[in-house]
A and B are shown apart, each in its own frame.
Chain A
Amino acid sequence: MMLFNRRTALKLGLATGATLAASRAASALVEVNVSGGNFQPLPIAIPDFASSDPAFGQEIAGIVRNNLQRSGLFLPLDPASLPIQVGDVAATPDFNSWRQINVDALVMGQVERGGQIQSSVRVWDTQQAAQVVGKQYSTDPNSSRRVAHIISDAIYESLAGGSGYFDTRVVYVSESGPKANRVKRLAIMDQDGANSQYLTEGRTLALTPRFSPNNDLVTYMNFDDGNPQVYLLQLSTGQQRRLGSFGAMTFAPRFSPDGGRIAFSVEASGATNIYSIAVAGGQPTQLTSGGAIDTGPSYSPDGSRIIFESDRGGSPQLYMMAAGGGQAQRISFGEGSYSTPVWAPKGDLIAFTRQSGGQFSIGIMNPDGSGERLLYTSFHAEGPSWAPNGRVIMFFQDPGGNDGPRLKSVDIWGRNVLTIPTETFASDPAWSGLRA
């Protein structure tokens, strides 16, 4: 199974980037091939970036190496082992000397911090003696980590194909204090765990955040007053408001792919059904009915369908319906129960939590329920969220007892399980799209 196979140099289209003049348009042979169990990460040489502030050049290169290493698709070589310690983005490398130490992929970068941060980077294929990609960027001086993430995405895209996922953020629930009375606050961080900031003060329980498609709104569930209710928080202004007043408990909110609507659950007299409402306001539309628990709605990327969980057949299972409601088809049939379905960004897969045999698993299946694969199993794992390129899933894992949850990620091949560093216990990760 050849999942990545790139035989031509890729043209990148990042809005903030301008293509450097290439030495020649290359048809590169360097590529990342992921093929079942015998996959080997691609060794890649990334000397420190040239800079009039060498520590800054070292820092940026370090973030890039860390991103690529954490992807599981690349093996950045120890910079001290390289023939040069600092890259030169202006010069054509001495390809022979790199080939002699078995370096096929080479990254040279430069970064300067002035009124803006100016950076440029070239990825070289030493076997072909050709540039794979050359980019330059200028960004806000306070966004040095973002520069490193944007460069990481450019390298990833040029060698692994598809789109990257490093210039993204994760909103999550930060948990602290004893389990019986734990404080749960919303927090936001870069995808690698850096730059974490709180979004709510912790006076009330705040749970299950989700980004809007433009990454500026977060919808979540807040135990502010009486029963929990769905809230909206605008990241750029810090303003928040209740989605509406529907009397009963509202929870499990998810944006539609155009950002215009929110699907959510409404509980009344023990029955939980799914509704949707325009973000701008108005009356909600009821999408499911009956006395069962229908929750965890997730729109298809084209907005036409909703996958959700329901215990209408006994245990929680996954069901598919039109985005406007109506007849639903059950798609999960394995042992145990299924919940928290999340549609993949490209629409090709559904991620879910499955509970069976006293264990919890994070898995994926096709939207028709076929091709189920479990990616990670433990005492308790829950709540998958997709990276915007659809290749990595973040979730939370809890060892139980008075211990607490941690954020983990796994790729869709079930490899490369990572713990995302957070200061506190953390749960309910929601991955943003690539930042504009």
Chain B
Amino acid sequence: MPTLAPINLGLRALAMVVLLVAVAACSRTPATGVGNLGPGGGAPGSQQEFLVSVGDRVFFETDSSSLTSTATATLDKQAAWLNQYGNYRILIEGHADERGTREYNIALGARRASVVVNYLVSRGVSAQRITSKSFGKERPVAICNDISCWSQNRRAVTVVQ
């Protein structure tokens, strides 16, 4: 339907604006942050330090729950930090992008969370401290219709609490 094209373009522009707002808002909220922001703060042992200096999330390839080398590097840092600060409980949130069906993505998010839990445990983090939860595709952080967003949504987030 060609007549709809201008409307779609408008929505895409709106979506980009919303994305920027979401990113800006999220960076102040550890539980839903975009993470891996590089140096810049947080007292030693604080949730802010974990978010900013360690990085709270890892990303996955499409329909995959295998850890990339970047992901294992992040999880090594997470494990070291979590082993140093043993007072925190840990929730691993597994997420999928929107390019799958709802129930399958619930299961995929769970599988991703499980892979992260197993890796952290293999690096010495006590399984007793860790719980996990899948959100499937229901809680994206980046909103657009291409891979630049989907690749940010295929994630497992380590929430220290």
A residues at B contact (CB < 8 Å):
178-182, 184, 205, 207-208, 221, 226-228, 249, 251-252, 265, 267, 269-272, 293, 295-296, 309, 311, 315-316, 337, 339-340, 353, 355, 379-380, 382-383, 398-403, 427-428
Q: Assuming A227-B132, A249-B106, what are 17 further A-B pairs, CB within 8 angstroms? A: A180-B22, A207-B102, A226-B131, A226-B133, A227-B134, A228-B106, A267-B111, A270-B110, A295-B107, A316-B101, A339-B101, A339-B103, A355-B99, A380-B98, A380-B99, A400-B144, A401-B14
| A295 to B134 Cα, complex, angstroms | 15
* Interface 1/0 per residue, B110-144 and A, CB below 8 Å: 11011100100000000000011110001111011
Check if B103 sits within 8 Å of A400, measured CB to CB.
no
Interchain CB contact under 8 A, B63 and A315:
yes
Could you say which residues of chain B place their CB within 8 Å of the CB of A315? 63
Q: Say whether B101 contacts A270, CB under 8 Å.
A: no
**Cβ-closest 9 pairs across A and B:** A270-B114, A401-B15, A270-B111, A272-B107, A400-B145, A293-B107, A339-B101, A252-B103, A402-B15
Assembly CA distance A180 to B26 (angstroms): 10
Q: B100: CB under 8 A from chain A?
A: yes
A85 to B22 Cα, complex, angstroms: 56
B80 at the interface (CB under 8 A from A): no
Indicate whether B48 reaches chain A with its CB closer than 8 angstroms. no
Determine how close the nearest CB of chain B comes to the CB of A78; give it in whole angstroms: 26
A-B contact count (CB 8 A): 114
Check B90 for interface membership: any CB of A closer than 8 A: no
* In contact, B145 and A249 (Cβ under 8 angstroms): no
| Set A226, A227, A337, A402: member contacting B143, Cβ < 8 A | A402
In angstroms, Cα B74 to Cα A238, docked, is 47
**Could you say which residues of chain A place their CB within 8 Å of the CB of B11?**
399, 401-403
Instruction: Determine if B85 is an interface residue (Cβ-Cβ < 8 Å).
Output: no
Which of chain A's residues have a CB closer than 8 A to the CB of B12?
401
Choose among B104, B139, B141 the residue that contacts A309 (Cβ–Cβ < 8 A). B104
Chain A residue at minimum C-beta to C-beta distance from B153: A180
Alpha-carbon gap, A402 to B131, bound state (A): 30
For B108, list chain A residues within 8 Å (CB). 293
Q: Is B78 an interface residue (CB 8 A)?
A: no
Chain B interface residue count, CB cutoff 8 Å, equals: 38
Which partner residue on chain B sits nearest A380 by CB separation?
B98
A-B contact pairs, 17 of them (CB 8 A): A178-B22, A180-B140, A181-B139, A207-B138, A227-B132, A249-B133, A265-B103, A267-B111, A269-B114, A270-B115, A272-B110, A295-B104, A337-B63, A399-B11, A401-B15, A402-B14, A403-B11
B53 CB-CB contact with A under 8 Å: no
Contact call B15/A208, Cβ cutoff below 8 A: no
User: A296 contacts B103, CB within 8 Å?
Assistant: yes
Residues of A within 8 A of B18 (CB): 178-179, 402
In the bound complex, what is the Cα–Cα distance between A179 and B15 (angstroms)? 10
Q: Distance (Å) between the CB of A400 and the closest chain B CB?
A: 4
Return the contact of A228 from the options B32, B63, B134 (Cβ within 8 A).
Answer: B134
Majority SS of interface residues in chain B?
A: helix
Closest chain-B Cβ to A48's Cβ sits at a distance in Å of 34
**Which among A207, A249, A379 has the highest number of chain B CB atoms within 10 Å?**
A249
Tell me whether B145 and A401 are in contact (CB under 8 A).
yes
Contacts of B140 in A (CB 8 A): 179-180
B63 engages A251 (CB within 8 Å): no
- Asked whether A401 lies within 8 Å of B144 as measured between CB atoms, the reply is yes
Q: Whose C-beta in chain B lies nearest to the C-beta of A339? A: B101
Instruction: Chain A residues near B158: list those with CB within 8 A.
Output: none
Q: Considering the chains assembled together, what is the distance between the CA atoms of A75 and B109 in angstroms?
A: 47
CB of B119 to closest CB in A, whole Å: 12
B29 CB to closest chain A CB (Å) equals 11
Which residue of A has the minimal Cβ distance to B4? A399
Other-chain residue from A180, A207, A427 in contact with B139 (beta carbon distance below 8 A): A180
**Is B106 a contact partner of A379 (Cβ separation < 8 A)?**
no
- List, in ascending order, chain A residues with CB within 8 A of B63's CB: 311, 315, 337
- CA A267 to CA B106, docked complex, whole Å: 9
Q: Which of chain B's residues have a CB closer than 8 A to the CB of A379?
A: 145
| Interface residue ranges of B1-41 to A (CB < 8 Å) | 8, 11-12, 14-15, 18-19, 22, 32
Which chain B residues numbered 71 to 111 have a C-beta less than 8 Å away from chain A? 98-104, 106-108, 110-111
The answer to whether B101 touches A353 (Cβ under 8 A) is: yes
Q: Are A227 and B133 closer than 8 Å at their CB atoms? A: yes
Option from A181, A208, A402, A403 in Cβ contact (under 8 Å) with B103: A208
Residues of A within 8 Å of B113, CB to CB, are 270
